Amino acid sequence: MDQPLASQMILMWMNGLIAALWIVCGLTAFTAWRTFKQAADLRWLFGYLLLALYAIGEATAAWQWQRSFDSGNLGPAVVDAANAAGTYDLRFTALHLIAVFVVLFAFRTRRVKFDL
C-alpha cells in the first residue's frame, strides 16, 4: 500500500491558520462596531464567524482523513484518490489563505476614508 502524502496534514494546518485569521477579522469587526456603532460591522462579524466555522470544518475533515490513513484500513485505490484530491485542494486552500489576508487588510483600511 502506498504511503499517503502529507497533504492532508498540510491542509489541516492551513485551514486551522485560515480559521484563526477569520477569527482575527471578526475581532477587528467587533472592535470597529464598538467604536463606530455601525450595523454593517455586525454583519461583517457574522460573516467572518461563519467563514471561521467553515475553515474549522475543513481542518477537521483533513484531520479525519489523516487518521484514516494512519490506521492503515484504507485500500490503495482510496489512498491514491485521496492523495490526488488532497494535492488538488492544497492549491485552493492556498488561494483561500491569500484571500483572508486581502480581506483583513481591506477591512482595516476602509476606515481610513472615514477619518477626517
* pLDDT bucket at 65, cuts 50 / 70 / 90: confident
This prediction's pTM: 0.82
Sign of CA dihedral 43, 49, 55, 58: negative
Average pLDDT of the residues of the chain: 85
Q: Looking at the domain assignment, is residue 55 inside a domain?
A: yes
Task: Please give the tally of structural domains in the chain.
Answer: 1
Q: Looking at the domain assignment, is residue 2 inside a domain?
A: no
Q: Looking at the domain assignment, is residue 1 inside a domain?
A: no
Q: Looking at the domain assignment, is residue 30 inside a domain?
A: yes
Dihedral over alpha carbons 5, 62, 58, 82 (to 10 degrees): 60
Give percent of the chain with pLDDT exceeding 70: 90
Q: Looking at the domain assignment, is residue 16 inside a domain?
A: yes
Q: Looking at the domain assignment, is residue 26 inside a domain?
A: yes
